[in-house]
Amino acid sequence: MIWFSSDHHLDHWAAWIQEQRHEFHSAGEMNGVLIANILETVRPTDTLYMLGDFAFRPETFRSYAASVDAACNVVWVKGNHDAKAMKAPLAVDFRHNKRHYYCFHYPLLSWRPNTVCLHGHSHGNPLTFSDDSRLQMRYDIGVDVEWFGRKYYPVSIEQIEKAIELGIHPTR
């Protein structure tokens, strides 16, 4: 199974995170739930694309990333809050079920035609769509987005393909 996630911001307890993730009462509680949701979801043979902003501090990244890396195959993509020393690409792409997927932390405005763009960074805030048909194939897979009734969990490739088929764009 292929999974996607982004924007955990582990140990980042800024006012905007507290407001957006009001269900949590502390960074520790938030960290625990977000990591538990990953570990509950993925299996050892799965691949998880982590599209940036996983943890606020390098030491937090190392400790939590080790448990996620042990649970499945993780493809790390660098986000704007990730440590400068993090050795990860800014983007990755792959093919699945005759579709081309491009994974980047930021929501792009332009990319290769006939490609699904998966991103984080916007935390489920609605993005402007235009007449450019490519923008209809851009999906926010961050943890703050509710995908078919599940929030704070990784998003499966099947959920993304279902959203494409239904023509919907889940938001916060």
CATH of domain 2-166: 3.60.21.10
Cα(79)–Cα(83) distance, integer angstroms: 9
pTM assigned to the model = 0.92
For residues 83 and 3, which has the higher predicted lDDT (pLDDT)?
A: 3
Q: What's the pLDDT score for residue 39? A: 98
Residue 23, SS3?
Answer: coil
Contact between residue 86 and residue 54 where contact means Cβ atoms under 8 Å apart:
no
- The model's pLDDT over 79-94, given as tens digits with 9 standing for 90+, comes to 887 766 678 988 999 9
pLDDT of residue 172 exceeding 70: no
- Could you give the CA distance from residue 158 to residue 164 in angstroms, rounded to a whole number? 10
Mean pLDDT score, 38-57:
96
Kindly state the percentage of the chain with pLDDT values over 70: 92
